[in-house]
Structures are given as C-alpha cells and as structure tokens.
Amino acid sequence: MLNLADEIQNARIKYEALAKRLNDLAAELTNTSHFRSPDDYSKATMELRAQLIAIQEEIESTLAYIDRSADLTD
C-alpha cells in the first residue's frame, strides 16, 4: 500500500496531466477558425463541458481516495 506522500505525489501528477488537457481543450475552442458553423462551435463547447464534468468527478474521486488513505494512516 502506498503511503500518503506517495498518494499525494500521484495525485499531483494526475492533476498536471488534467491541467494540460484543459489547456489543450481551451486552445482548441479559442481557435475558432476551424469551426465551419456556429453549430459546430456549440457542439464543441458541449463536448468541453462534458469533459470538464468528467475531470471534476475524477478530481473529487481522487481527493476522496486520499482522504480515506489519510484516515487509514491516522
């Protein structure tokens, strides 16, 4: 079983990857030249919203896991 410091380091690595993914998605949305219509842009923003929700759920799940791990080490 990993110790709490390892769990926190793993979470940090995961969050850095999620932050990069968010930046990539934001860059894609700000480059509107590749959208053929307002409908395409709307679809892209809905997809981004879904991905943001998934990232939020992943973060909450990881934080809950770390909290449970911390409780076990106390």
Q: Mean pLDDT, 10 residues at a time, over the chain (74 residues)?
A: 74 83 80 80 85 83 78 63
Q: Give the per-residue pLDDT at 1.
A: 56
Q: What is the pTM of this model?
A: 0.58
Q: Give the per-residue pLDDT at 72.
A: 65
Q: Give the per-residue pLDDT at 62.
A: 79
What contacts 55, CB < 8 A, 6 or more positions away? Answer: 18, 21, 22
Query: What whole-number distance in Å separates Cα of residue 67 and Cα of residue 60?
Result: 10
Q: Give the per-residue pLDDT at 73.
A: 60
